[in-house]
């Protein structure tokens, strides 16, 4: 957007892809070779470096039209470029700020404030992530990771609304969410709780029954212990301490965020530790796992897909995404459908290769 508030033309697809990569890695240096590999998708022409410099020059001219110093915003820093953008000046930065504030307020038991912050975070969403760049391979894992963060924020807001006594107001939203994400047990737990608190016990029990059938038929597993306990409490018509439950959930999320910040200050990495004790640092915006040599973590196994999975640092959390692999990805003994937010200590299994996600 220009200084006068009008939208600026961002140029051809490759130029928009360069800008997107710099924004994804904002305030971090992105190597020229990394930009070329991503934009030309591992098949660059001889003139790729010159073309990249031309794209950067045009992006700088666009930045200059917004009445700021383009060289200060998009700086040449060995071995590449760094785009300096305060978090409050980009939409997914504002999303992260408001989501963090919402979780911290919920952890302190201030659920009205939590709901407000989380609603502000979700208001930053205006459509699919980088929809016009989906032909570039780097977009899908980043978009999936952000969608996972959005889902976490939706769940956190629903929990805050329930804790505020407004369970009846979020039933429709939760019904839509479980239809879209049919194996997400925390969302089903919130829907069951909302039904129960709205004096709709029969529907709460029916929701559990539908989930149990779906898990058994589609995944061959049973509902988790937490959901089973909730089902029993609803059957017995016991009171639910939703404020305490919401606060406990938020405290766990806030503790994970604090741990992530501490690790970032020390070394800017988390790790995947394999069964042999080797630790693979998760550096940069994404760490790709697969069979072929240009992955960051290479698994020499024919059952592993060429590009099997990727772990994305969203700035808010670490999210693992299955890159449409043949044999899937398990996190905490559960097959993920697309993506999952990783918690410290989570076990990841890829075709029998086991890793533990560590924040230190």
pLDDT at residue 268 is higher than 70: no
- Domain residue ranges of the chain, discontinuous segments joined by +: 13-85, 92-244, 270-358
Domain covering 92-244: architecture: Alpha Horseshoe (1.25)
DSSP 89-133: GSHHHHHHHHHHHHHHHHHTT-HHHHHHHHHHHHHT--SSTTGGG
pLDDT at 218 over 70: yes
* C-alpha torsion sign, points 37, 39, 43, 46: negative
On the question of pLDDT at 259 being above 60, the answer is no
Is the pLDDT at 37 greater than 60? The verdict is yes
The CATH number given to 13-85 is 1.10.10.10
Average pLDDT, the chain: 89
Phi, psi of 45 (to 5 degrees): -75, 165
Q: Which of 38-42, 173-177, 264-268 is the least confident region?
A: 264-268
Distances (CA, A) of 85 to 19, 94, 174, 177, 272: 12, 11, 35, 33, 29
Whole-model pTM?
A: 0.80
Q: What is the pLDDT of residues 84-131, one digit of tens each?
A: 999 998 998 999 999 999 999 999 999 999 999 999 999 999 888 899
Please say if the pLDDT value at position 1 is more than 70.
no
Least confident piece of the model among 40-44, 165-169, 345-349: 40-44
Span 270-358 CATH architecture: Sandwich (2.60)
In this predicted structure, the answer to whether residue 135 has a pLDDT above a threshold of 60 is yes
Q: 33 near 40, Cβ under 8 Å?
A: no
Burial readout 40-72 (b: 16 or more C-beta within 10 A, e: otherwise): beeeeeeebeebbeebbebbbebbeeeeeebee
Q: HSE on the CB side for 107, CA within 13 Å?
A: 15
CA atoms within 13 A on the CB side of 302: 0
**Taking residues 191-199, what's their average pLDDT?**
98
> How confident is the model at residue 7, as a pLDDT?
60
So what's the pLDDT on residue 203?
A: 98
């Amino acid at each position: 957007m220009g200084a006068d508030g009008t939208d600026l033309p961002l140029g051809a697809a490759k130029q928009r892809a360069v800008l997107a990569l710099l924004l994804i890695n904002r305030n971090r240096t992105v190597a020229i070779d990394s930009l070329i590999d991503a934009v030309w998708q591992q098949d660059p022409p001889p003139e790729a470096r010159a073309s990249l410099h031309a794209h950067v020059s045009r992006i700088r001219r666009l930045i200059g039209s917004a009445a700021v110093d383009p060289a200060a915003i998009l700086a040449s820093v060995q071995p590449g470029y760094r785009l300096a953008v305060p978090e409050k000046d980009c939409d997914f930065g504002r999303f992260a700020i408001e989501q963090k504030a919402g979780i911290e307020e919920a952890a302190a038991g201030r659920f009205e404030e939590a709901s407000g912050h989380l609603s502000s975070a979700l208001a930053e969403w205006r459509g699919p992530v980088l929809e016009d760049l989906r032909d570039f391979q780097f977009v899908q894992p980043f978009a999936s990771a952000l969608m996972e963060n959005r889902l976490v924020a939706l769940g956190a807001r629903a929990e805050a609304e329930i804790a505020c006594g407004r369970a009846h107001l979020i039933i429709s939203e939760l019904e839509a969410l479980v239809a879209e994400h049919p194996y997400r047990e925390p969302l089903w737990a919130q829907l069951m709780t909302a039904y129960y608190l709205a004096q709709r016990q029969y529907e709460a029990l029916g929701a559990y029954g539908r989930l149990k059938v779906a898990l058994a038929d589609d995944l061959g597993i049973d509902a988790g212990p937490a959901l089973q306990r909730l089902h029993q409490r609803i059957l017995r018509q016991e009171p639910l301490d939703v404020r305490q439950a919401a606060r406990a959930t938020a405290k766990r999320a806030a503790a994970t965020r604090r741990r992530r910040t501490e690790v970032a200050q020390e070394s800017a990495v988390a790790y995947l530790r394999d069964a042999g004790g080797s630790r693979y640092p998760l550096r940069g915006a994404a760490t790709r796992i697969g069979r072929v040599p240009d992955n960051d973590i290479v698994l020499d196994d024919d059952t592993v897909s060429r590009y099997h999975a990727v772990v994305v640092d969203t700035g808010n959390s670490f999210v693992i995404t299955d890159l449409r692999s043949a044999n899937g990805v398990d996190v905490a003994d559960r097959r993920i459908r697309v993506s999952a937010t990783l918690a410290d200590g989570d076990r990841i299994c890829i075709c029998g290769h086991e890793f533990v996600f560590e924040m230190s």
